[in-house]
Structures are given as structure tokens and as C-alpha cells.
Amino acid sequence: MELEFELLRLRERYYELIEHTNTLKYELNNAQKQLHEKEKIEPNLNVDLEKERRRADEFENDYKSLKIKYDDVCERIRIATNQLEHVQIVLEETSRRCEQLEKEK
């Protein structure tokens, strides 16, 4: 249950970061277009653009990190599910064997 909660939390954060990264990239592209259209570039605009580039890079790094964690959690859930299925099979076999032994008594 804890893994599922962690997976849901990571998935939510993952999608938030994708959305925010796309927004930042869109805004960054628009800012770049505006810069090229103007003859005189204001120094503050360059500073803001560089800050946004750094923020976009940070979000991209966060996105990659969360993607790795998300994939890891998915793999752990897959393994746990396989183990659970195996335990269920063993329990069913044990139950049948117990019933068989009871009948043989």
C-alpha cells in the first residue's frame, strides 16, 4: 500500500513537472522570439531569460530524477505482485494438500 501511495505521489509530481517544464519552455521560446524582434535588447531581459533557462534546467533535472524513481517504484511493484501471486499459488496448493490429507485420515 505504501508503494502504491509513493507511486501515485511520484506520478502526480512527475506530471506536474512535465506541465511546468512545458510551460517554461513555451515561455522561454516566446521570450527568445521577442528578443530577436527587438533591435535594442534590455540587459534585464537577458538576466531574466538566463534565470528562466536555469529554472527550466532544474525542472528538467527534477523530471529525470522523478522518472527514475517512478520507474524504480513500478519495477518494485511488479516484483511484489509476482511474489504475491506466487504466495497465493503456494497457499492454494497447501490448502488442497491439507484437504487431501484430511480426507485420507
- Asked if residue 80 lies in contact with residue 3, where contact means CB atoms within 8 angstroms, the answer is yes
pLDDT of 39 > 60? The answer is no
Specify whether the CB–CB gap between 45 and 35 falls below 8 A: yes
User: Mean of the per-residue pLDDT values for the chain?
Assistant: 87
Q: DSSP state, 105?
A: -
In terms of pLDDT, which residue wins out, 52 or 41? Answer: 52
- Residue environment code for 76-98, b if the CB has 16+ CB neighbours within 10 A, otherwise e: eeeeeeeeeeeeeeeeeeeeeee
The pTM of the whole model exceeds 0.85:
no
Task: Give domain limits for the chain.
Answer: 2-104
38 band by pLDDT with thresholds 50, 70 and 90: confident
CA trace torsion 12, 15, 17, 18 (10° rounding): 170
